[in-house]
């Protein structure tokens, strides 16, 4: 008997939502068997979906609540397209009628984002106009910004605007949650070169920068971590280099800033090891040493 490759969690959820929008009646046990996961996993998927889409359930069978569906406040489809493109998905269900455009909250951690701000940002991008807003930086300083917006970006459940900053003249990433008093500058057209648009389109992380030379990272993952990484990559650049006889594997990544990958590596300790570069190994060692010392100090 042969088995198809199981979809990644996000792919699976998107598929389930598309089936619900086709008004299928989904039985948990049957769907779990189809996707090669447990009943518990499918129930968890449906619970996430049910937070944002009205579902009816009875004896393990789920379907859309058609009566409540018409009352939903929808988000612009551009947000779903942006999310999908960032993780390499093609959402075919967006090609049809308005009723095929689902909310995107089922797929990402959509917390605290102002829908009004999102819609105004999309309006600014579509119109080709500059926009302005008050932005709080990492030093908790509030400053007025005017930018030429390029695209939306999502990473680790957060949404960002990628734009050319008028003040610095470079491509920057702005956290939605730090934007206040957003407004479209209807009388000022965005000024962008093809190179700047290309840079923003190819940006692979909020930490990525065109001013930094990319470098390669090699990791060894034990079998326990490898089974997960094969389905959910740590980074968009992940490439499988070699599978070891012990079930582990070596992966390579191309990044421009340690923070593109270091937080993900830390979540997989002790199942993931940095092989190179030495500077990243040293940074991880120093972070762990600092953490251990702080924990000892706090042990009262």
Domain ranges of the chain: 9-100, 115-202, 215-298
Rg (alpha carbons) of the chain, rounded to whole number: 22
pTM above 0.85, yes or no: no
CA distance 134 to 145: 6
Q: Which fold has domain 9-100?
A: Arc Repressor Mutant, subunit A (1.10.10)
φ, ψ for residue 221, nearest 5 deg: -115, 130
Look at residue 88 in the predicted model and tell me its pLDDT: 45
Torsion of CA 92, 89, 101, 151, to 10 degrees: -120
Question: What value, to the nearest 5°, has the Cα angle with vertex 123 and ends 173 and 112?
Answer: 55
CATH number of 215-298: 3.30.70
The three-state secondary structure class of 195 is helix
Range 115-202 has CATH code 2.30.30.520: yes
Residue pLDDT tens, the chain, 300 long: 333 445 556 667 777 877 887 778 899 999 999 888 899 999 988 887 777 677 899 888 998 887 776 555 444 454 555 544 444 444 444 443 333 333 343 344 344 456 667 777 777 887 889 999 999 988 889 999 999 998 877 776 677 888 999 988 888 889 888 888 999 998 999 989 888 888 887 776 777 766 678 899 999 999 999 988 887 788 878 999 999 999 999 999 998 889 889 998 999 999 999 999 999 999 999 999 999 888 888 875
Cα within 13 Å of Cα(87), Cβ side: 22
Q: Which of 264, 204, 269 is nearest to 234 (CA)?
A: 264
d(CA 20, CA 28): 13
Residue 141's beta-bridge partner residues? none
pLDDT at position 245 is: 93
């Amino acid at each position: 008997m042969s088995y198809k490759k199981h979809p990644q969690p996000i792919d699976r959820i998107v598929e389930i939502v598309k089936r619900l929008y086709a008004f299928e009646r989904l039985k948990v046990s049957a769907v779990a068997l189809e996707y090669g996961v447990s009943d518990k996993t499918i129930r968890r998927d449906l619970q996430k979906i049910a937070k944002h889409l009205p579902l009816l359930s009875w004896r393990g069978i789920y379907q859309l609540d058609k009566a409540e569906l018409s009352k939903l406040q929808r988000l612009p489809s551009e947000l779903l397209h942006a999310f999908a493109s960032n993780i390499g998905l093609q959402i075919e269900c967006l090609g049809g009628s308005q009723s095929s455009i689902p909310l995107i909250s089922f797929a990402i951690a959509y917390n605290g984002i102002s829908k009004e701000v999102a819609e105004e940002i999309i309006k600014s991008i579509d119109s080709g106009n500059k926009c302005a807003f008050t932005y709080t930086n990492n030093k908790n300083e509030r400053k007025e910004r005017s930018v030429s917006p390029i695209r939306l970006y999502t990473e680790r459940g957060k949404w960002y605007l990628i734009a050319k900053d008028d003040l610095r003249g470079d491509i920057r990433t702005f956290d939605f949650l730090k934007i206040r008093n957003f407004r479209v500058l209807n009388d000022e057209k965005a000024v962008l070169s093809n190179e700047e648009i290309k840079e923003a389109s190819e940006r692979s992380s909020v930490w990525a920068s065109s001013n930094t030379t990319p470098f390669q990272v090699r990791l060894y993952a034990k079998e326990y971590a490898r089974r997960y990484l094969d389905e959910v990559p740590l980074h968009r650049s992940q490439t499988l280099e070699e599978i070891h006889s012990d079930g582990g594997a070596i992966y390579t990544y191309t990044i421009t800033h340690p923070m593109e990958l270091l937080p993900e590596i830390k979540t997989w300790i002790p199942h993931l090891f940095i092989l190179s570069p030495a500077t990243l190994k040293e940074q991880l060692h120093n972070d762990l040493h600092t953490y251990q010392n702080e924990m000892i100090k706090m042990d009262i």
